[in-house]
Structure 1
Amino acid sequence: MRKVLLPALIIIAASLLVIRIFYLQIIDDSFKLKSENNAIKIKYDYPERGYIYDRNGKLMVANQASYDIMVIPKEVKEDINVLEFCQLLAITQEDYLKRMAKAKVYSPRLPSVFLAQLNKSEFAAFQEKIRKFEGFYFQKRSLRDYEVNYGANVFGFITQVSEKLVAKNPYYNSGDLIGRQGVEESYEDILRGIKGVTYIQKDKYNREIGSYKEGKYDTTAVQGEDIRLTIDSELQKYGEELMINKRGGIVAIEPKTGEILALVTAPSYDPAILVGRQRSKNYTLLYRDSIAKPLYDRGLLAEYPPGSPFKILTGLVGLQEGVINEQTTYMCHHGFSYAPGRFMKCHGFGPHQLHNGIYNSCNTYFANVYLRIIGKYRSSPYAVDVWSNHVKSFGLGQFMGYDLPIGKKGKVPTSKTYKKIYPDWRWSGKTIISNSIGQGEVLMTPIQLANMMATVANEGYYFTPHIIKKIEGQAIDKKFTTKHVTTIDRKYFPPMISGLFDVYNFGTASALRVEGIDICGKTGTAENFAKIDGVRTKLHDHSIFVAFAPKDNPKIAIAILVENGGFGAAIAGPIASLMIEKFLRKKITRTDLETRILNTSLQGQYAKLGGLSEAVKLELKIKDSILQSKIKKVAVVKIDSTQEN
């Protein structure tokens, strides 16, 4: 039996090997496409990327034809007229040699991009004489065609894929385009479509002799899927106009869904400058700007002390922990002594309860509330974790899970934080009392501030903020329709909302009311320090404002942060009122606020940090005409309305 077993195994193994070889070579010859690259030429047909629309169906990003000049170095003749070639393409002979050397390093036999993104006129001029330059050919692609001059941070941009990714991902070849930043990166797999492939047989003289296997393995290109964003394009445009000559971020969210209505960062840029042959030059200019950072999305990445808006959470946690009720009263004397020789400045005077503590933004009141929260647990080092866990239930101190490729966690301190800061000292609520008013170790991004207000508007729940509304033929991720409930009971939100409503009626935003719209809001001012010539210098405070409206059945929650903007009611507050009215009414009645904000420039403040960068000059040049026309339009409306009266 053993004598038969070994020969039998050998025969079976050999038979299987022969059958597999027969299948691969005779029946399935697709492997020849890889093994006979010298005899088979592969041509790709690149699909159009999917279109991008706003929430109302307005087309924001389409496509335009573009042409890359491809080269196969081995097929380029030695006697090519380099001078004529360079003149046609407006490049130097030095550029020619560098590009050819790079192509040879990639592969002498395979095509790679020699010169990318020629427009129609450049293509037409070169097409007439391309027969003289063997080894070069055109590859048609589609580039983005922006229908709007705003939203650059939302869209992202298209760039050539890196060689590192080519080696890692078999879908991409050298010279392919890929989405970077914004929705172009987040939804790359959906927007890019599927490349078509054509295999062409060549003879021993490298001449094309026809389709390989009569097109058996050829495939057609499939256009990328269109997507609809949650962005309101008119609100986005308006927000960017209001932020010209300022730095900061605006984030607006629809509370009932978590849909992002506007995502503004300033300074920004016209997305069209990152298309075409000037793309690389313009991108380098933006990238190297370490002063204004126009590629830095302040709405998602910038972490700031939230200031007074954080008092909302201090009050809610105090109610939930049972250390206060609506009638709990503290006296304010323009300064609250919470430790020997140390004071906390305050705006108010006299007795303060939750209601007027909110609309007067009383530091004294919320400092006492915070001390009671920590004191409830006998000032245990772990008492801060009780407070911290409540705060984190609002989506703070963590990545929020939204569908954009960048973000920061912010910071909500815990007992571990203070054990590191004070390893040899017993700290207490008095030590960390600055947390109560949004200073101390607390940091938040504008999108976290906006989500906090959406949660308050919903009386205790939120949906993960997201920017995708619809994908053709697909459902959006279920995580965007999953409700997140806070640790604060719903019954504690109405008294807080009542106080936020009276911020506009009697409090710090009473000058910002919009007739007929019930707005709930909170002003904030965050201290701002920077190193200038090596010295820590106090600059103008950051202006912060959070709001939602209408008070009943809220449709929009918003957070605005303007760097060096001063008091919350000075710049961020008016922007909030204007953005809310723009979204709810599609028009502006507070033209006095609009004119003031459009004419406000903080470039003088920013100049202290290093002057105007080249990228900011570019942004100002692009948008100055927009701003001037807007100011003129407002002036005309104001004159006309005066005449009517």
Structure 2
Amino acid sequence: MRKTLLPTLIIISSILLLVRLFYLQIIDDTLKIKSENNAIKIKFDFPERGYIYDRNGKLLVANQPSYDIMVVPKEVKEIDTLEFCTILQITKEEFIEKIEKAKIYSPRLPSLFLPQLNKMEFAGFQEKIRKYTGFYIQKRSLREYQTKHGANIFGFITQVNDAIIKDNPYYKSGDLIGRQGVEEAYEEILRGVKGVKYILKDKHNREIGSYKEGKFDTIAKQGSDVTLSIDGELQKYGEELMVNKRGGIVAIEPSTGEILALVTAPSYDPALLVGRQRSKNYTKLYNDSIAKPLFDRGLLGEFPPGSPFKILTGLVGLQEGVIDPQTSFTCNHGFSYGRGAFMRCHCPGGVVQLNFGIYKSCNTYFANVYKRTIEKYKRPKDGVDVWSNHLKSFGLGKFMGYDLPPGRKGHIPTSKFYEHFYPNGGWRSTTIISNSIGQGEVSMTPIQLANMMATIANRGYYYTPHIIKTIKGKKIDSKYTTKHITTIDRRHFDPVVNGLFDVYNRGTAFGLGVDGLEICGKTGTAENFAKINGKRVQLEDHSEFVAFAPRIRPKIAIAVIVENGHFGNTWAGPIATLMIEKYLNKKITRTDLEKRMLEGNLNYQYRKLYPSKDSIHKPKLDKTDSIRMKLKSKKELEKDKKKEVEKKKVAENKK
């Protein structure tokens, strides 16, 4: 038995191998048609990408016809290169470079030679294409934007590179792929499926019909349409309010986690990244290191949260039982700690309880709450970790898992972080007291701030923020419908919400309210440092504001950050109020705020950062800007007047 086992196995293996070879070579033609076979020409039929709509059914992104010139290098015969280059407006050097690149990919397979011809260019080339053997036209579709807003949301379409082709066999040279935004996040859904036709050629390289009567041909399948959670009108309005400013706006529907608006400023017209000028325009946007229009501040900007963070300090203190709504602290316009250290406070002072502490934004109150929270435990490290874990239950200090490609975690420090910087110990609650008011080592992104407010609006839970609402014929990922519950008991939220409501009624946002709307909000002013000529310089503070409305059954939660905007109620607060009124009432009654925000210009602040550098969004000093004049001191105004008088005198003397 043992003697026959080995020969038997060898015979069986040989038979199986021969059968497999016979099947592959004689019966199965799939490998044959996939190979670089001279007798078979492969033609792809590219489907239209799926359309993109806003939450109200408004079409945002459609398609337009485009034409690519394809080349099969081995089939290229002697042609009039000069005439060819003249028609397509390219140089001879570019012609040679493109042919050589195509040869590297494959001498027998089609490669993209020149992409995205418009109708006029296509018409001119089509008339003489018969003279240029080896070249043919491939029809495609490019994006056509029905809006000039939301570029950061949509992303763009670009050609695949060698790395993508290597990793994903679906893509071939010259294929298009979504990059950034929704186009990248939902590429497989939007792109559809390419159709393939196999055409038989004779020995003279002439097409003589379908291979195997079209047995292996497939039909192109159009991409699925998607509906975004974005409100197109709200997005447009937000971008208009942020003209001549830098920062971000994120608005979320608390009951679903759907993103209603995602504004980054400055932005750009999405149509710039369509057509033959796409690469040139992208390079300009990418190289703009001053305004950074490709940098999505709503998702990637990490800022000290400032005073809005006091809301969380209060909630953690309530949950840990170190305070209740009636707990009082005395504020003497600041909080004394350490060896003569003093944290200033701009509230009126006196005996402060939770409600007053929130609506007057008392630093002293929340510093005491934070100190008690950390010192509740024997070791500072234990207190910090308890505090940190509460905050992380709000989705802070980690990637949130939303359905757009870019993201930042922000930072919520733990004991390990401080042990690294204080290896010999010696740190305590007062060492890190700045955390209590959203400064120190704490940082958050605007979308985290908006989600924080959505969580408070829901009294203790949130849904992962997402930009997809529906996909035609498919279900959205279940993670966007899964409820995340915080470690803070529901009963602790109402006292905090009452304080946020009073911010508008008698607090730091007094005067920003809208009749008939119950808005709960919190102003913020975050310190802002930057390196200029290698030195760390403190610049104008960032203006921040977070809010939700209505107070009962909230429909919108929002976070606004205006870089170098100073007080929260100067820029960010009015913008948040206008966005809320626009979404809930579909009209604006606070026309005074609207006029001030639409005409407001902070470019004079940004000129201080890069006074000599150039930018496609180069800030221009607007001397007539009324807001800027209001923010100036009397001395500055007097200086400006003197300068203007001197200029007039010089001009008159020249005359």
What is the Cα deviation at residue 210 of structure 1? 1.4
CA contact (8 A) 1:292 1:613 kept: no
What is the Cα deviation at residue 379 of structure 1? 4.4
Distance 2:302 2:509 in 1: 24
* TM-score normalised by the chain length of structure 1: 0.94
Name 2:443's counterpart in structure 1: 443
Tell me the SS of whatever aligns to 2:469.
strand
Q: Which amino acid aligns with 2:19?
A: I
Which stretch shifts more, 603-612 or 336-345? 603-612
Tell me the SS of whatever aligns to 1:443.
coil
Distance 1:503 1:410 in 2: 26
Matched ranges for 1:486-635 at <5 A: 486-611=486-611, 613-616=614-617
Name 2:476's counterpart in structure 1: 476
Tell me the SS of whatever aligns to 1:175.
coil
CA contact (8 A) 1:381 1:427 kept: no
Distance 1:307 1:352 in 2: 19
Matched ranges for 1:196-345 at <5 A: 196-345=195-344
Tell me the SS of whatever aligns to 1:531.
strand
Which stretch shifts more, 470-479 or 69-78? 69-78
CA contact (8 A) 1:399 1:407 kept: yes
Q: Which amino acid aligns with 1:157?
A: F
Tell me the SS of whatever aligns to 1:432.
helix
What is the Cα deviation at residue 602 of structure 1? 1.1
Distance 1:335 1:10 in 2: 89
The one-character-per-residue Cα deviations of 1:319-340 (angstroms, maximum 9, x if unpaired) are 1111111111111111221223
What is the Cα deviation at residue 12 of structure 1? 2.9
Q: Which amino acid aligns with 2:275?
A: G
Name 1:362's counterpart in structure 2: 362
CA contact (8 A) 2:36 2:108 kept: no
Distance 1:334 1:36 in 2: 80
CA contact (8 A) 2:380 2:429 kept: no
What is the Cα deviation at residue 23 of structure 1? 2.4
Q: Which amino acid aligns with 1:517?
A: L
What is the Cα deviation at residue 3 of structure 1? 5.7
The one-character-per-residue Cα deviations of 1:562-609 (angstroms, maximum 9, x if unpaired) are 100110000000000000000001110001001001111111111112
The one-character-per-residue Cα deviations of 1:167-189 (angstroms, maximum 9, x if unpaired) are 11110000100000001000001
Q: Which amino acid aligns with 1:128?
A: E
Name 1:375's counterpart in structure 2: 375
CA contact (8 A) 1:326 1:353 kept: yes
What is the Cα deviation at residue 35 of structure 1? 3.7
Tell me the SS of whatever aligns to 1:347.
coil
Distance 1:549 1:2 in 2: 83
Distance 1:453 1:528 in 2: 23
Q: State the identity %.
A: 72
Distance 1:577 1:367 in 2: 28
Tell me the SS of whatever aligns to 1:381.
helix
The one-character-per-residue Cα deviations of 1:518-545 (angstroms, maximum 9, x if unpaired) are 0000000001111222222211100000
Distance 1:563 1:154 in 2: 21
The one-character-per-residue Cα deviations of 1:256-286 (angstroms, maximum 9, x if unpaired) are 0000000000110000000001100000000
Distance 1:22 1:526 in 2: 74
What is the Cα deviation at residue 40 of structure 1? 1.0
Name 1:466's counterpart in structure 2: 466
The one-character-per-residue Cα deviations of 1:13-72 (angstroms, maximum 9, x if unpaired) are 333233323322333222211345222110000000000000111100000000111111
CA contact (8 A) 2:541 2:564 kept: yes
Distance 2:108 2:616 in 1: 40
Distance 1:550 1:7 in 2: 83
Unaligned ranges ≥5, structure 1 = 625-645
Distance 1:35 1:508 in 2: 71
What is the Cα deviation at residue 470 of structure 1? 0.3
CA contact (8 A) 1:99 1:114 kept: yes
The one-character-per-residue Cα deviations of 1:491-520 (angstroms, maximum 9, x if unpaired) are 000000000000000000011001110000
CA contact (8 A) 2:290 2:615 kept: no
Which stretch shifts more, 433-442 or 334-343? 334-343
**CA 1:114–1:36 in structure 2 vs 1: closer, same or farther (change >3 Å)?**
closer
Distance 1:613 1:396 in 2: 36
Name 1:628's counterpart in structure 2: none
Q: Which amino acid aligns with 1:426?
A: G
Distance 2:344 2:99 in 1: 68
Q: Which amino acid aligns with 1:609?
A: L
Distance 1:548 1:35 in 2: 60
The one-character-per-residue Cα deviations of 1:444-477 (angstroms, maximum 9, x if unpaired) are 0000000000000000000000001001111111
Distance 1:309 1:179 in 2: 36
Name 1:452's counterpart in structure 2: 452
Distance 1:155 1:269 in 2: 12
What is the Cα deviation at residue 82 of structure 1? 1.1
CA contact (8 A) 2:291 2:615 kept: no
CA contact (8 A) 2:289 2:615 kept: no
Tell me the SS of whatever aligns to 2:30.
coil
**CA 1:6–1:331 in structure 2 vs 1: closer, same or farther (change >3 Å)?**
closer
Which stretch shifts more, 303-312 or 381-390? 381-390
Tell me the SS of whatever aligns to 1:527.
strand
**CA 1:493–1:17 in structure 2 vs 1: closer, same or farther (change >3 Å)?**
same
Distance 2:209 2:353 in 1: 86
What is the Cα deviation at residue 224 of structure 1? 0.3
Name 1:64's counterpart in structure 2: 64
Distance 1:613 1:249 in 2: 23
CA contact (8 A) 2:67 2:140 kept: yes
CA contact (8 A) 2:36 2:109 kept: no
CA contact (8 A) 1:161 1:172 kept: yes
Distance 1:468 1:384 in 2: 36
Distance 2:555 2:4 in 1: 82
Distance 1:559 1:434 in 2: 22
CA contact (8 A) 1:88 1:125 kept: yes
* TM-score normalised by the chain length of structure 2: 0.93
Name 1:633's counterpart in structure 2: none
Q: Which amino acid aligns with 1:231?
A: I
Name 2:159's counterpart in structure 1: 160
**CA 1:422–1:209 in structure 2 vs 1: closer, same or farther (change >3 Å)?**
same
CA contact (8 A) 2:519 2:549 kept: yes
RMSD, aligned CA: 1.5
Matched ranges for 1:85-104 at <5 A: 85-104=84-103
Which stretch shifts more, 98-107 or 313-322? 98-107
Which stretch shifts more, 7-16 or 572-581? 7-16
Which stretch shifts more, 65-74 or 454-463? 65-74
Distance 1:347 1:607 in 2: 29
Which stretch shifts more, 396-405 or 23-32? 23-32
The one-character-per-residue Cα deviations of 1:290-314 (angstroms, maximum 9, x if unpaired) are 1111101000011000000000000
Distance 2:616 2:421 in 1: 39
The one-character-per-residue Cα deviations of 1:189-246 (angstroms, maximum 9, x if unpaired) are 1000000000011222322221111100000000000000000000000000001111
Distance 1:190 1:319 in 2: 46
Q: Which amino acid aligns with 2:592?
A: D
Distance 1:433 1:8 in 2: 80
Distance 1:516 1:52 in 2: 35
CA contact (8 A) 2:504 2:512 kept: yes
Distance 1:159 1:261 in 2: 27
Name 2:418's counterpart in structure 1: 418
